[in-house]
């Protein structure tokens, strides 16, 4: 079931998302969080940091699993998702480094990295999976026509995604990695609860398809219609086609 919450602006969206995230953490001090990168969750992460500073909500027992990571840039590159997560959240809360999981892009055997990640995900059910969405309906880096039963795998990024993400690489598409490792759609669907955030007109069509479109691999996010606990929090622009 998909519950949709339309917010006036990004600030309100980030507050609503934070309340949902906090309720999971308050109910379960050792919750497993599925986390996402991109601009959509940054306000939520800022709220988590502010709450940690003021109210000392502890992340000592929390485990996290990130959706994806680029392949072909160093893990310490400022735009790697490892760096993004540390800069925007992990460095500012009391989470233990050993409890942080991000698909590894290191070494020669990336398939083994995928297999290891799947094994960990099989052992740890995600209590809440945070998602952004690509303008083409991708979730994580599961591009259109990814199999709905896919697990963590290596992907070639679509040109539209490379274009969308060029803003993080000096607006130079040649600097954007062409491959990534992503949790698969089946990994995402295994989460107990899903929280998807989207803003802006650029996402309106993808949000419309996610909620009202035919469930089809041509738009990965449509699979969410088959999950029993999805909340989509959007601003008015992203909701404009509903």
Q: Which residue of 36, 95, 155, 176 would you call a contact of ligand GLP, by CB under 6 A?
A: 36
Q: Which residue of 34, 103, 134, 137 would you call a contact of ligand GLP, by CB under 6 A?
A: 134
CA distance 238 to 12: 14
84-123 footprint of ligand GLP as x/- string (CB under 6 A): ----------------------------------------
Mind giving me the DSSP string for 172-195?
Answer: -GGGS-SEEEE--HHHHHTSS-EE
Catalytic residue among 88, 138, 164, 235: 138
176 binds ligand GLP (CB under 6 A): no
Task: Name the residue nearer to ligand GLP (CB basis): 108 or 230.
Answer: 230
Task: Name the residue nearer to ligand GLP (CB basis): 46 or 57.
Answer: 46
| 205 among known catalytic residues | no
Q: How far is the CB of 72 from ligand GLP (least distance, A)?
A: 14
Rule CB under 6 A: which of 51-70 touch ligand GLP? 67-68
CA distance 80 to 63: 20
| 76 among known catalytic residues | no
40 binds ligand GLP (CB under 6 A): yes
- In contact, 196 and 132? CB cutoff 8 Å: yes
Give which of 69, 76, 82 is closest to 181, Cα–Cα.
69
- In contact, 129 and 182? CB cutoff 8 Å: no
| 68 among known catalytic residues | yes
CA distance 39 to 31: 24
142 binds ligand GLP (CB under 6 A): no
Q: How far is the CB of 129 from ligand GLP (least distance, A)?
A: 11
CB atoms within 10 A of CB 51: 16
CB-count burial class (<10 Å; 0-12, 13-18, 19+) for 1? exposed
Contacting range for ligand GLP; rule: CB under 6 A; set: 14-22, 33-41, 101-109, 110-118: 33-41
| Residue ranges binding ligand GLP (CB under 6 A) | 36-40, 67-68, 132-134, 140-141, 161, 165
């Amino acid at each position: 079931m998909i519950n949709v919450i339309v917010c006036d602006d990004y600030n309100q969206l980030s507050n609503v998302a934070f309340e949902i995230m906090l309720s999971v953490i308050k109910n379960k001090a050792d919750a497993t969080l599925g986390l996402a990168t991109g601009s959509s969750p940054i306000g939520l992460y800022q709220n988590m940091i502010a709450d940690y500073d003021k109210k000392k909500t502890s992340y000592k027992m929390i485990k996290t699993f990130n959706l994806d990571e680029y392949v072909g840039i160093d893990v310490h590159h400022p735009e790697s998702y490892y760096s993004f997560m540390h800069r925007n959240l992990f460095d500012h809360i009391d989470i233990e480094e050993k409890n942080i999981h991000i698909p590894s892009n290191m070494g020669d055997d990336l398939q083994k990295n995928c297999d290891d990640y799947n094994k960990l995900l099989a052992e740890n059910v995600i209590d809440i999976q945070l998602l952004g969405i690509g303008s083409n309906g991708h979730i994580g880096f599961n591009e259109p026509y990814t199999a709905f039963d896919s697990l963590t795998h290596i992907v070639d990024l679509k040109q539209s995604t490379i274009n969308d993400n060029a803003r993080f690489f000096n607006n130079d598409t040649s600097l954007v990695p062409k491959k990534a490792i992503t949790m698969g759609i089946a990994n995402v669907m295994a989460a107990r609860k899903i929280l998807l955030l989207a803003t802006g007109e650029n996402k309106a069509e993808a949000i419309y398809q996610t909620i009202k479109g035919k469930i089809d691999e041509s738009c990965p996010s449509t699979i969410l219609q088959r999950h029993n606990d999805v909340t989509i929090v959007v601003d008015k622009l992203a909701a404009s086609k509903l």
